Chains A and B, each alone.
Chain A
């Protein structure tokens, strides 16, 4: 069994959200929903995070920031796009500076539509994301095993 599903640490980034979805993300941490019950912590540090929550659409200015946060997160990692803005650009889609949903710059694993997305839906998406996280971890393990096996056979050939 993989422990990534038991302690998903979160980093939250506000693309160009109207703050509606941000408030809902924070609501998940309050006593009402208390996601720490599932070991979820809001870290604020990409190097410690497993789940990347993005609210709002990506624009020309923060495109680099979103990419950088994503790249700094160690594997396995999952991206959850929260709110219709993050999914497709929403009402801001046609703005001259908006590129569209988060998936125009980084791969997204879960989409939470809604304006604003409800805390229940956000928690649901993170739980879905945990499934993806476990899959990615399993893939990582398989890759590591393969690399080890390859190294071993190579060693034998040298002998």
Chain B
């Protein structure tokens, strides 16, 4: 119980710091890949602090309420995860959080935000099967949906769940909002939808979405880490290194692809889930 409380508090405090730092590293690496020098590492924090200083413009009041709900549920998702709760509960709260963001975008009435929201729905449709399969895979192998049970097992889940791991890394591109699947909104100069989902959010509201994104990233990397735990320090270190490598891989993919159509996102994510996740699960079931 005590460790659960400590890890939740650590998550609440450290996740935005590490997440923001990773976002800064992301921007520098991206710039270097494009032959530029890039901003300072603390730039994401400057951005958020600046957004807090801006005038607050909202289309309607209810929009801010939904964004705050989105933020709270993203934080709660990570909280459940780091407290050692059930993976299924974690996934459902994450879905709820995304739904709040979509409703917020719809409530603004802006055409750009609405197209962004529709695309976000498609993205959810694309990644959701694989996320569920990840949870089911952990259950099939360890016999429990609970994160603390999985953590206590002495067998590393990576080898038996390698297909599911690959599938999860694949949909991570969608969840991190990286090209080629950054359909609904992106951090870069893809502007055919103005700013997509977040067109109508500005100032503090936008800052909140940004921080929620950092929380979410840390939690998503936490699942990557979950594939490596077996109680030894060596595997803990390897797990963290692989998390960083996965993050680097996503940046690399981001910089080497153009944005693709939503059909490609949906088809490829479902094929990845079916082939990588499905076959892996089948082998565990009969094994």
Give A residues with C-beta under 8 Å from B.
2-4, 6-7, 30-31, 34, 36-39, 42-45, 47-48, 50, 72, 74-76, 137, 140
Contact = CB atoms under 8 A, between A and B. Distances in A.
20 contacts: A2-B53, A3-B49, A3-B52, A4-B54, A7-B47, A7-B50, A31-B35, A34-B31, A36-B27, A36-B31, A36-B37, A44-B194, A44-B195, A45-B191, A45-B194, A47-B200, A47-B202, A72-B57, A75-B54, A75-B55
Contact of B37 (A4, A34, A72, A74): A34
B189 A44 contact: yes
Contacts of A75: 54-55
Contact of A37 (B38, B47, B189, B200): B38
Nearest to B47: A7
Most buried by B among A37, A43, A47: A47
Interface residues of B, number: 31
B53 A37 contact: no
B201 A7 contact: no
Interface in B236-264: none
Interface string B36-60: 1111100100110110111111000
Contacts of B46: 3, 6-7, 39
Nearest to A34: B36
Contacts of A38: 39
A134 to B, nearest CB: 10
A135 to B, nearest CB: 13
Contacts of B154: none
A158 to B, nearest CB: 26
A66 B214 CA distance: 35
Given A39-B46, A44-B195, A47-B200, A4 B36 contact: no
Given A44-B191, A47-B201, A36 B39 contact: yes
B34 interface: yes
Contact of A36 (B36, B57, B203): B36
A74 B189 contact: no
B199 interface: yes
A43 B57 CA distance: 17
Main secondary structure of the interface of A (DSSP, over half): loop
Contacts of A45: 191, 194-195, 199
Given A74-B57, A76-B54, A39 B40 contact: yes
B206 interface: yes
Given A37-B37, A48-B195, 17 more contacts: A3-B46, A3-B52, A6-B43, A7-B43, A31-B34, A37-B38, A37-B39, A39-B40, A39-B43, A39-B46, A42-B189, A44-B195, A47-B57, A47-B202, A74-B55, A76-B53, A137-B53
Contacts of B201: 47
B84 to A, nearest CB: 37
Most buried by B among A3, A34, A43: A3
Contact of B199 (A47, A50, A140): A47
Contacts of B191: 44-45
Interface in B173-224: 189, 191, 194-195, 198-203, 206
